[in-house]
C-alpha cells in the first residue's frame, strides 16, 4: 500500500489547526469571564441570534398576574410531578407546558381585571392591571414553574426512611430536610452566577428553546 505524503500531511496538520482554534476560543472565554458582559452580545452564534441584548425598563415586572399565575404554576407542577414520580411509569411535566399555558391566561387577566389604582398618590400605590401582559411577566412565571417542576432529591431520603427503615418523620422535620437541600442548591447557583450565568460566552443550549418561545410569543401576541 502506497501512502501519499500530502494526504499524511493533511491528516496530521488538521488536528493541530483544530487545537489552535480551541485554544483561541478558550482564551476568548477566559477574557470574557473576567470582564463585565451584561450589555455585550454573546460570541456564540446561536445565542447571539436568539437572545436580545436590549432591555425595556418601562415594562412592569412584579405584578398581580405574575404572582397568581407563577404561584399556581409552581404548586401545580410540583404536586403533579411528585405525585406521578412514585408510579411504575412516572409522568414528568416540564416548565415548557406552563410556559405555553400561561400565555392565554395572562392575556385574559389583562383584559378582565380592572385597572383601578389603589392608594393613589401614596407610597404604596399599586394596580392589579398595569397594562398588557408582557414578556417579563411571562419569564418570571416560567421561572416559578421551573422551580416547582423539579423533584427535590431530599424526598428520596424521607421516602426511604419511611418505606425501608419503618421510621416515622414528622411533617416539620421532613420539610426542613427538603428546604435545606433546596436552599443549598440555590445558594451554590447564586455563588457561581458570575461564572455560569453572567459571562456572554457561557451558554446553555437547553434554555435557547424557551428563549425562542418567549420571543415568538412576544412577536405574535403583543
The dihedral through the CA atoms of 16, 22, 25, 30 has a sign that is negative
SS3 state at 194: helix
Q: Check residue 41 and report its DSSP letter.
A: P
Q: Is 198 left (phi over 0), alpha (psi -120 to 50) or beta?
A: alpha
Q: pLDDT tens across 46-103, in order?
A: 888 888 888 888 898 999 999 999 999 999 999 999 888 888 888 888 888 999 999 9
Q: pLDDT tens across 146-199, in order?
A: 988 888 888 888 888 988 888 888 889 999 988 898 888 889 988 998 888 888
127: β partners = 117
CA geometry: angle at 21 spanning 19 and 24, to 5°?
Answer: 115
How far apart are the C-alpha atoms of 49 and 37, rounded to whole Å? 17
pTM surpassing 0.85?
no
- Residue 69, judged by CB atoms within 10 A of its CB (0-12, 13-18, 19+), counts as buried
Amino acid at each position: 500500500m502506497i501512502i501519499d505524503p500530502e494526504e499524511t500531511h493533511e491528516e496530521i496538520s488538521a488536528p493541530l489547526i483544530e487545537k489552535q482554534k480551541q485554544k483561541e476560543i478558550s482564551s476568548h472565554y477566559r477574557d470574557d469571564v473576567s470582564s463585565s458582559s451584561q450589555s455585550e452580545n454573546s460570541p456564540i452564534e446561536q445565542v447571539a441570534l436568539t437572545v436580545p441584548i436590549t432591555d425595556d425598563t418601562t415594562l412592569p415586572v412584579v405584578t398581580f398576574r405574575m404572582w397568581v399565575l407563577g404561584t399556581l404554576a409552581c404548586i401545580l407542577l410540583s404536586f403533579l410531578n411528585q405525585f406521578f414520580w412514585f408510579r411504575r411509569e412516572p409522568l414528568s411535566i416540564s416548565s415548557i407546558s406552563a410556559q405555553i399555558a400561561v400565555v392565554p391566561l395572562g392575556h385574559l387577566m389583562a383584559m378582565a381585571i380592572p385597572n383601578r389604582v389603589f392608594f393613589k398618590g401614596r407610597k404604596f400605590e399599586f394596580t392589579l392591571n398595569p397594562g398588557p401582559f408582557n414578556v417579563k411577566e411571562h419569564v418570571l412565571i416560567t421561572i416559578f414553574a421551573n422551580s416547582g417542576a423539579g423533584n427535590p432529591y431530599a424526598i428520596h431520603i424521607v421516602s426511604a426512611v419511611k418505606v425501608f427503615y419503618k421510621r416515622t418523620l414528622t411533617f416539620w422535620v421532613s420539610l426542613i430536610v427538603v428546604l435545606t437541600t433546596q436552599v443549598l442548591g440555590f445558594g451554590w447557583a447564586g455563588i457561581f452566577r458570575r461564572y455560569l450565568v453572567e459571562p456572554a460566552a457561557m451558554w446553555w443550549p437547553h434554555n435557547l428553546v424557551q428563549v425562542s418561545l418567549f420571543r415568538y410569543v412576544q412577536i405574535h401576541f403583543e
